[in-house]
Amino acid sequence: MSLPLSIYIHWPFCKSKCPYCDFFKKVQKNVPQDNIVDFYLKELDYYHRLLPDRIIRSVFLGGGTPSLITPDNIHRLLEHIFTLWKTEANIEISLEANPNSEYPDMFRQLRRAGINRLSLGIQALNDADLRFLGRTHNLKQALHSIDEVLKNFDNHSIDLIYARPKQSLSDWMNELEQASGFGFKHLSLYQLTIEEGTVFYKKNVQVLDEDAAADMYLYTVDYLQKHGYPRYEISNFAPARYESVHNKCYWLGDDYIGIGESAHGRLKINGRFYAIDNLPGDLTHSMRRHKEILTPQERAEELVIMGLRLQQGIDKKYFKTVSGLNFDDFINQKAAANLESQGLIINNSEYLAATDAGFLVLNHIIAQLCR
Instruction: Tell me the pLDDT tens digit for each residue of 219-276.
Output: 999 999 999 999 999 999 999 999 999 999 999 999 999 999 889 999 999 999 999 9
The domain total for the chain is 2
> What would you measure as the largest C-alpha separation in the chain, in angstroms?
59
Residue ending a domain, among 224, 249, 274, is 249
> Which residues in the chain show pLDDT less than 50?
none
What is the per-residue pLDDT for 101?
66
Domain co-membership, 213 together with 300: no
Please state whether the peptide bond connecting residue 64 to the residue before it is cis, i.e. omega within 30 degrees of 0: yes
What is the per-residue pLDDT for 221?
98
CATH of the domain at 302: 1.10.10.920
In whole angstroms, give the CA distance from residue 240 to residue 2. Answer: 25
Q: Which domain holds residue 367?
A: 296-371
CATH of the domain at 210: 3.20.20.70
What is the per-residue pLDDT for 284?
61
In whole angstroms, give the CA distance from residue 91 to residue 83. Answer: 14
Residue ending a domain, among 249, 284, 316, is 249
What is the per-residue pLDDT for 196?
86
Domain co-membership, 245 together with 319: no
Per the CB < 8 A criterion, the answer to whether 4 and 255 are in contact is yes
What is the per-residue pLDDT for 330?
97
Residue ending a domain, among 194, 219, 249, is 249
Mutual angle of helices 245-252 and 296-307, in 10-degree steps: 130
In a domain, 270, yes or no: no
In a domain, 180, yes or no: yes
pTM value? 0.95
